[in-house]
C-alpha cells in the first residue's frame, strides 16, 4: 500500500472537525483523521508492506524549468505552498508519530510524492494499492501487475477502487490511456493548461484513436483524418506545450528510492513513546485504531 500522504492529510484536515484540539490547544484534526483513515484502509486491504510517500519537493525544479506555471497557482506571497495555518503545525507532529510507529516514510529531494509512488509501483511486486484523492495517479493503473488506485474523492467509506475498467467506464476512453487523455484535457489544480480549446469530450475522442501525444501531434501535422480540422488546428496551436507535456505530466518512474524494509512494523518492546504522543496531543482512539490495525 502506497499512501499519498499529503493528499490524505488534506482530506483529513477538511473532513474532521476543527474543534479537535490537543490539551495545549494545538489543532489535531488532520493527525487524527490521517491515523483513522490509515487504520481503516489497512483493515480493509490488509497490506503486507506499507509506505507513507512524502513530497521531497512539491514543485520539482525539473518540472518548473519545463513549465514555470506548474502549480504556480498554489504559491503564497512568500513563494511557498499555500497551506491552511492550522494544518501546517500538525504535519511535523504526525510525521514524528508515524516514525514512532515505525511506518516506512519516503521522500526524495526534487521529486513529488506522485513520483515516489510511481517508482515503487513499477519496482515492487504487486498487488499494489495506491491511496490518493488525486486523479493524476490513474495513469499508474495496471491490471496485469495488479496496480489499482484507492480513490478517496467520495471519502473512505464510499471510496472507489480504480482499475482499467473503472477508468474506461468513467471517462469513456481505453482505460490504459488516462495519461494521454489528461495531458490533452489539462489540470487546473496543477496550473496545467492542456491543449487549449480541447476539453474532456475532445480529449476522449483523441484518446480513442491514439496512444501517445507525439503520435497525436504527428497526426495533426499530417492532416490525419482521424482528427477533425478543428482538433488539428487546436493541437498545432499548442504544439509548444505538447512538446513538454509528456515529461511534465507523466510521473517519474526512475526515482532513486532508498533501500529499506517496507514490511509492516513489528510491535516494539514498549509503546510508551506512542502513548506519550497520544496523551500529549489528545489523540485518543485514533492511536488505538492504528495499533489494532497493525495487529499489535
Residue 197 phi, psi (nearest 5): 90, -5
Q: Which letter does DSSP use for residue 269 in this model?
A: S
Q: Could you give all domains of the chain from N- to C-terminal order, each with its CATH number?
A: 2-170+252-267 (3.40.50.1010), 175-249 (1.10.150)
Count Cβ atoms within 10 A of the Cβ of residue 74 and give its class: 0-12 exposed, 13-18 middle, 19 or more buried: middle
Q: What is the pLDDT of residue 96?
A: 97
Q: What is the pLDDT of residue 79?
A: 77
Q: What is the pLDDT of residue 22?
A: 97
Whole-angstrom distance, CA of residue 79 vs CA of residue 235: 32
Element (H, E) at 151: strand 147-151
Q: What is the pLDDT of residue 13?
A: 96
Residues 6+ apart with CB under 8 A from 12: 29, 30, 31, 32, 33, 34, 36, 37
Q: What is the pLDDT of residue 131?
A: 98
Q: What is the mean pLDDT of each run of 10 residues along the chain (296 residues)?
A: 97 94 96 97 96 96 94 83 90 97 97 98 95 96 97 91 98 96 94 94 96 97 95 96 95 96 95 97 97 96
Q: What is the pLDDT of residue 12?
A: 95
Whole-angstrom distance, CA of residue 273 vs CA of residue 267: 12
Nearest partner of 117 among 183, 54, 64, 186, judged by Cα = 54
pTM above 0.75, yes or no: yes
Q: What is the pLDDT of residue 126?
A: 85
Q: What is the pLDDT of residue 262?
A: 97
Amino acid at each position: 500500500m502506497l499512501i499519498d500522504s499529503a493528499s490524505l492529510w488534506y482530506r483529513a484536515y477538511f473532513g474532521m472537525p476543527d474543534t479537535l484540539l490537543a490539551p495545549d490547544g494545538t489543532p489535531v484534526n488532520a493527525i487524527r483523521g490521517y491515523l483513522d483513515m490509515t487504520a481503516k484502509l489497512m483493515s480493509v486491504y490488509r497490506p503486507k508492506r506499507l509506505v507513507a510517500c512524502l513530497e521531497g519537493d512539491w514543485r520539482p525544479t525539473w518540472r518548473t524549468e519545463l513549465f514555470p506555471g506548474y502549480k504556480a497557482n498554489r504559491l503564497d506571497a512568500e513563494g511557498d505552498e499555500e497551506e491552511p495555518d492550522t494544518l501546517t503545525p500538525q504535519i511535523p507532529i504526525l510525521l514524528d508519530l508515524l516514525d514512532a510507529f515505525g511506518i516506512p516514510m519516503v521522500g526524495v529531494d526534487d521529486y513529488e510524492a506522485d513520483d515516489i509512488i510511481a517508482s515503487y509501483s513499477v519496482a515492487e511486486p504487486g498487488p499494489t494499492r495506491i491511496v490518493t484523492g488525486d486523479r493524476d495517479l490513474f495513469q499508474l493503473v495496471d491490471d496485469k501487475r495488479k496496480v489499482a488506485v484507492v480513490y478517496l474523492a467520495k471519502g473512505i467509506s464510499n471510496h472507489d477502487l480504480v482499475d482499467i475498467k473503472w477508468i474506461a467506464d468513467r471517462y469513456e476512453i481505453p482505460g490504459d490511456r488516462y495519461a494521454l487523455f489528461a495531458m490533452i484535457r489539462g489540470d487546473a489544480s496543477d496550473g496545467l493548461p492542456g491543449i487549449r480549446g480541447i476539453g474532456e469530450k475532445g480529449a476522449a475522442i483523441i484518446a480513442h484513436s491514439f496512444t501517445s501525444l507525439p503520435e497525436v501531434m504527428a497526426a495533426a501535422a499530417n492532416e490525419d483524418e482521424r482528427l477533425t480540422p478543428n482538433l488539428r488546428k487546436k493541437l498545432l496551436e499548442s504544439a509548444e506545450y505538447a512538446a513538454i507535456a509528456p515529461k511534465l505530466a507523466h510521473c517519474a518512474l526512475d526515482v532513486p528510492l532508498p533501500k529499506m524494509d517496507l514490511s509492516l512494523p513489528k510491535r516494539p518492546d514498549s509503546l510508551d513513546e506512542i502513548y506519550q504522543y497520544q496523551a500529549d496531543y489528545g489523540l485518543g482512539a485514533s492511536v488505538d485504531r492504528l495499533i489494532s490495525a497493525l495487529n499489535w
